Amino acid sequence: MKTRIYVTLKSGVLDPQGKAIQHALDGLGFAGVEGVRQGKLIEIDHADNVSDDDLDQMCRKLLANTVIENYRIERG
């Protein structure tokens, strides 16, 4: 079973990596880019008996820093 977890920075948090991408896109001549944010996509292959609560705990304990990041779990 495959689950995808999306970890994104909360909206108030500065994202220098995203800014760097935005500037690079400008430098390459792409017009119309107003903002870029970079997050993480984590794909977990797991046994069927791993519960939603287990996945939530994995996010809280390891995968996301909930002070500055949001996460979204998409069970496959």
Footprint on this chain of its own copies (rule: CB under 8 A): 6-8, 18, 21, 24-25, 28, 30-47, 49-50, 54, 57-58, 61-63
Q: Write down the least CB distance from residue 18 to its own copies, Å.
A: 8
Q: Which of 56, 63, 51, 62 is nearest to 8 (CA)?
A: 63
Backbone dihedral region of 32: left (phi > 0), alpha (psi from -120 to 50 degrees) or beta? left
Q: Write down the least CB distance from residue 10 to its own copies, Å.
A: 13
Q: Judged by CB, which is closer to its own copies: 32, or 67?
A: 32
- CA 67-69-70 angle, 5° bins: 115
Q: Write down the least CB distance from residue 67 to its own copies, Å.
A: 19
DSSP 48: T
Q: Judged by CB, which is closer to its own copies: 67, or 72?
A: 72
